[in-house]
Chains A and B, each alone.
Chain A
Amino acid sequence: MKFSVTKEKLLEGLQQVQNVVSTRTTLPILSNVLLQAKGDEVHLTTTDLDVGVRGSFEARVEKEGATTLPARRLFTIIRELPSSEIQIEVDGKNAASIRSGQSFFKILGLPEEEFPPLPKFEDAKVITIRQKDLRDGLRKTSYAISTDETRYVLNGVLFSLKENKLTLVATDGRRLAMVDLELEFPRSHEADIIVPTKAVTELQRLLADEGDVKVSIGSSQIAFDLNNTLLVSKLIEGNYPNYRQVIPSETKERVTLERETFLNSLHRVSLLASEKSNSIKLNFSKNNIDITANTPEVGEAKESLAVAYKGREFSIAFNPEFFMAPLRNLTEDEVFLDLIDEMSPGVLKIQSPFLYVLMPMRISS
C-alpha cells in the first residue's frame, strides 16, 4: 500500500475515528486504525467492539492495499509533522514508512485480517432523519444520561419509534429529559432501542447542520450513515423503565422564565450552595422568585427575579447542577416551569416538544 495525502486531510480523517479506539484493551488490534487504500480514497476504521467508526479521506493512491496501525501513535506523529505533504508506504510485513519533508518515521502495524469487521446490517429497519434534528434532540437530552454503571439500561439514550414520532429520552433516575421528533416511517419500524453513551457522544460530534442521517436498526446493533462517515454501535440490552409514569399529568403553578437570566442567577447563587447538600432553594411569592443558597459557617447568597406569578407562596429546593444542565443546552429565550408542590417533580418546557422532569430535594429545615 502506498499513498500521498495532505497533512490536513489525513488529520481530519484520523480525528473522526480516533476517539473510538479503546485506551485499555486486551486485544492490541483494537488500539489500531484500519487503513484501506483504494481508487482515490483511503478508508479509516476503528472499533472497540462496542462502537465502530468508518470514515475516509481523498488521497493519491499509488498502490492499493490495507493495513492496521496504532491509532494514537499515528495521530501524534502526523500532528507533529513539519510539512503539509505526507507519503505513507506499507510493506508486506505491515511496517509503515511515513515521509514528510525531512522527516522519516517507521511504525509497525498488524495485518488487516486480524481487524474485527464492522457488523453487517442486512435485515435492518432503515429510517432517515435530518442531521440537524437529531443533533438538536441529542443535545437537549444526552446530559441527563446516567453514569451509574449499576443501572446499565440508563447508560444511554432511548430511541423510541412510535406513531410517526421519534422520542429521545435520557434519565439518571433523578431527572429526565425528553424530545419528540416528527418522523415518517412504516408501522413495522416501531421499536424501543437504547443507544449507549459512547455512541451518542461520537454521533453528536459527527452530526452536521446539513444533510440527512440514515439510521439502520438491527436486532442488537445500530448504524448511523452520515454520507461520508459510518458509526455503528451495539445497543444496550434490557428494558428501559416506564418513563411516562414519572411525567406529572397535572400542574398547579406555572412561571415563564427568561432562560439566560434565570441560568445566570442560578449559577451565581449556586456558588454558595454547600458542597454537602448542594441545593438551592426557589422561594415563590407574588410576582417574585427568591433564589437562595447557604452553607453553614461559610455564607449565603440570594437573588430576586421579577416574574409573573400569582400562585401560593412556597419554597422548593433543587440540585443547581441538575437545573442548569437543560438551561445550558436549550437555545430558546423563554422556558416554562411547571410545579405542583415542594415534594413533586418540577417540569421544564419550551414551545417545541421537549420536557425535562426534575425531582426536588428534600428541604431539611
Chain B
Amino acid sequence: MDCFYAAIEVRDRPALRGKPVGVGGARDRRGVLTTCTYEARAFGVRSAMPTFMALQRCPQLIVVPTRFDVYRRESGVIREIMRRFTALVEPLSLDEAYLDVTAHPGAPAPLAQVIRDLIFRKTRLTASAGIGPNKLVAKIASDLRKPNGQFEVKPGEVAEFMAPLPVRKIWGIGAVTERKMERLGISTCGELRRFSRAEVQEQFGKFGHELYDLCRGVDERQVEPHRERKSLSNEETFSINLETLEQCEGKLEEIFTELAAELAQKAAARKVTGIFVKLKFADFTRTTVERAGLEVSLDSFHALLTEAFARTGKSVRLMGVGVRFAESMPAEAQLPLL
C-alpha cells in the first residue's frame, strides 16, 4: 500500500489532501513518524523520523496521531480481497503481503491490476505491486512504480533486472556488509556476481552462500501464509528523561501491564521462551537484556531492568519490555481447514 497510514488519514479527512501530512507522535512528546504523505517526502521527511526533526525539515507538516484500529480494519479488508485470488497470502506488515499466484489461471500482471483496482474500489486507497518469479524479485519490483503502479519482471529477465541494482536492495545487507562490499569494489548485484560461491562464502560467511544466489535473483523461499508473530513488545518514550532506577521502576509496572494485556489478548496460547528489557538513553545509545526461561511477571522484568540500568547509569529516554515466542507450529505441517 502507498504510505498506508497517511493515505487513510487523508482519505478520512479531505481537508488534508495535497498537504504534507505525517502520522505519529507529537513533537512535544518526542514522537516518531510512522509514515508520511508524498507531499511530506518532498521535504525530506521519512518514516521512522523523530517528529521534531521532520518539523525542522517541513515546518508546515501536519502531524496526526495514529489510529491502529482503523489501519487494522482496512488491512483486513485488503487481505480478504487478496484471498479471493489465492490462499497463499503472507502478510509482512499491515500494508504489505506476498501473494503466490502460481496456481491462478490468469497472467500475473493483469491479475495484479485487478487486485489493485478492487482494493481501490473498496478502500479508496492505492496500492503498488511487484511481479516476479520469487519473493526477492517481487519485493524489489514493488518499489519501482510507487505510488499506484506495478512492475513485472519475467523469469527470463531476472539476471538483467538484478545486475544494475545496488547490493543494498538485497534483504539482509545492511550498512556493515555494504561497507565491506565497497572495500571489495562491489556496489551492484552484477559486480558481486564476478565472485565464485566459495569466494563469496569466504568473505561473508554463512550468509555468503545465500548472497551468491540472491545477487542472481535466485530465491527459493516459499510464500508462507501462516507465519507467526515471533515476539511481542511494548515501549514508551518519555517526555522527560528518567534519571534514577526508582523512576524507571515506577514506569515499568505501567508498561508491563499493557504488555500483559496485549499478550492475553493476542497470544495467550503461545509459549514464551524469553523476555527482554530494552533501554534507550539520552545520548541515543541503547542496551537490551534478554533472558530465557523466566516467567512473564513484573518481578522478572524488574530484575532485567535493574541489570540494564546498572550497565550505564545514564538517564533513560525510552524503555521497552517484551517477550519472545517459541515456534508453535511449522506452517508446512499443519494442514489448513479453511
Residues of A within 8 A of B (CB): 23-24, 26, 147, 149-153, 171, 173-176, 197-198, 238, 241, 243, 246, 275-279, 317, 319, 321, 343, 345, 357-362, 364
Contacts and interface: CB of A to CB of B under 8 A. Distances in A.
B268 A147 contact: yes
Interface stretch (B13-21, B72-80, B206-214, B276-284): B72-80
Contacts of A321: 269
Contacts of B258: 23-24
Task: For chain B, give the interface size range.
Answer: 20 to 34
B335 interface: yes
B189 to A, nearest CB: 32
Contact of B80 (A153, A174, A276, A343): A153
B91 A362 contact: no
B287 interface: no
A319 B337 CA distance: 13
B115 interface: no
Nearest to A325: B269
A152 B333 contact: no
Contact of A23 (B91, B257, B269): B257
Contact of B335 (A26, A152, A238, A360): A360
A44 B5 CA distance: 36
A341 to B, nearest CB: 12
Contact of B65 (A26, A176, A343): A26
Contacts, number: 81
Interface of B: 65, 72-73, 75-77, 79-80, 91, 257-258, 261-262, 265-269, 271, 326-330, 332-338
Contacts of B337: 171, 173-176, 246, 345, 357-359
Contact of A278 (B73, B80, B329): B329
A51 to B, nearest CB: 12
A361 B338 contact: no
B76 A149 contact: yes
A133 B230 CA distance: 38
Given A24-B258, A150-B76, A173 B338 contact: yes
Given A151-B76, A278-B328, A319 B334 contact: yes
Contacts of A176: 337-338
Contacts of A149: 72, 76, 266
Contacts of B336: 173-174, 359
B293 to A, nearest CB: 13
A191 B57 CA distance: 54
A331 B327 CA distance: 31
A147 B79 contact: no
Given A149-B72, A150-B91, A321-B269, A364 B333 contact: yes
8 contacts: A24-B258, A24-B261, A24-B262, A147-B267, A171-B338, A278-B328, A279-B333, A361-B335
B329 A150 contact: no
Contacts of B335: 174, 343, 359-362
A361 B269 CA distance: 19
A361 B334 contact: yes
Contacts of A151: 76, 79
A26 B24 CA distance: 13
A150 B79 contact: yes
Nearest to A176: B337
Contacts of B91: 150
A125 to B, nearest CB: 25
B228 to A, nearest CB: 9
Tell me which of B91, B266, B333 has the highest count of chain A C-beta atoms within 10 A of its own C-beta. B333
A246 B337 CA distance: 7
B80 A361 contact: no
A100 B75 CA distance: 50
Nearest to A275: B326
Contacts of B328: 278
Contact of A276 (B262, B269, B330, B334): B330
Contacts of B338: 171, 173-174, 176, 241, 243, 246
Contacts of A243: 338
Nearest to A321: B269
Nearest to A173: B338
B334 A174 contact: yes
Contacts of A345: 337
A277 B265 CA distance: 24
